[in-house]
């Protein structure tokens, strides 16, 4: 019998307010690594068992997030309870192309305390239970210096026995300055088996560069395998000296690009964890993301979700 692969996503799930028409908003729950966890579960369960690592309060909205995780068959036994904190909140607005704009209320969220008081050894003890760990630039940004350092040290301890995936989602307002962010991303790259880099995020942080230059820069930081996501047009795959460009199967006109990169990460990481080639994983990732961008919100309704073949 084939062993189930276990993947844990580390980050923040927030209350989401998504446009519902006529000036109304629909409440849901989302966040970059939560989105990835949800699509990992939808696309790959039961072959992949998905867990979520975060901090939640004991308030009704925190309980709602816990139920939302469980509704996606995501395990919640690694959630830290932060009794005096609540979840963050964000609102989505879209332009005529489907591009999204966010407004956040998250500065005092429970997720920011998920590893408060934890040592690197304690975090490593948690992480080593899994086959793959996935986190993002937002995960790093919401942690204070002590928690971020402890997480990095823990990842060092489990490197080689646990695969690590990293998506450097860059949100300037979450960082004190770009130098701190760049240093954190470079350290994360050195720990990563899979770096899933969005070209626009990289350019915003490091300046203009083409896809190959971006890939080589991340390889130089130490990432074993680099995927450069170039919007809806293509993705560039780089391992060693080999470079492949994999476009999506069809050109789509998105209704809402919220969650596009997160769902791509789910398709890619899940497929790779189950033994697919880079190119096969990229095609699965395009299929998952292509489905998500045709519906509103980061987590599309299960009634319109179809597992990608």
Q: What residues act catalytically?
A: 262
Give me Rg for the CA atoms of the chain: 18
Nearest to 229, CA basis, from 285, 186, 173: 285
Contact between 229 and 261 under an 8 Å Cβ cutoff? The reply is yes
Q: Which helix (H) or strand (E) holds 164?
A: strand 163-167
Helix axes 199-206 and 211-221, enclosed angle (nearest 10):
70
Q: Kindly list the distances between the CA atom of residue 219 and the CA atoms of 8, 43, 150, 168, 241, in Å, as whole numbers in the listed order.
A: 24, 28, 24, 14, 10
Q: Which helix (H) or strand (E) holds 34?
A: helix 32-44
Cα–Cα distance, 68 to 80 (Å, whole number): 16
């Amino acid at each position: 019998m084939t062993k189930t692969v276990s993947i844990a996503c580390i980050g923040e799930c927030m209350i989401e307010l998504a446009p519902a028409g006529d000036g109304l908003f629909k409440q849901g729950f989302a966040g970059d690594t939560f989105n990835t966890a949800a699509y990992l579960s939808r696309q790959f369960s039961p072959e992949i068992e998905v867990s979520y690592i975060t901090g939640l309060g004991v308030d009704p909205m925190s309980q709602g997030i816990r139920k939302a995780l469980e509704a996606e068959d995501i395990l919640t036994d690694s959630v830290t309870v932060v009794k005096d904190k609540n979840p963050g909140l964000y609102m989505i607005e879209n332009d005529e192309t489907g591009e999204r704009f966010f407004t956040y209320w998250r500065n005092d969220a429970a997720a920011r305390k998920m590893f408060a008081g934890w040592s690197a050894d304690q975090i490593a003890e948690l992480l080593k239970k899994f086959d793959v760990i996935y986190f993002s630039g937002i995960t790093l940004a919401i942690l204070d210096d002590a928690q971020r350092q402890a997480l990095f040290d823990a990842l060092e301890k489990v490197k080689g026995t646990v695969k690590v995936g990293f998506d450097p989602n860059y949100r300037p307002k979450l960082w004190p300055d770009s130098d701190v962010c760049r240093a954190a991303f470079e350290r994360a790259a050195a720990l990563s088996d899979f770096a899933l880099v969005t070209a626009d995020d990289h350019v915003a942080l490091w300046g203009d560069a083409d896809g190959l230059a971006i890939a080589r820069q991340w390889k130089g930081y130490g990432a074993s395998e680099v995927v450069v996501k170039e919007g809806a047009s293509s993705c560039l795959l780089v391992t060693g000296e080999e470079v492949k460009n994999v476009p999506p199967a069809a050109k789509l006109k998105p209704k809402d690009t919220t969650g596009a990169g997160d769902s791509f990460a789910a398709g890619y990481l899940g497929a790779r964890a189950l033994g697919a080639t880079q190119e096969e994983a990229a095609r699965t990732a395009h299929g998952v993301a292509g489905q998500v961008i045709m519906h509103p919100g980061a987590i599309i309704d299960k009634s319109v979700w179809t597992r990608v073949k």
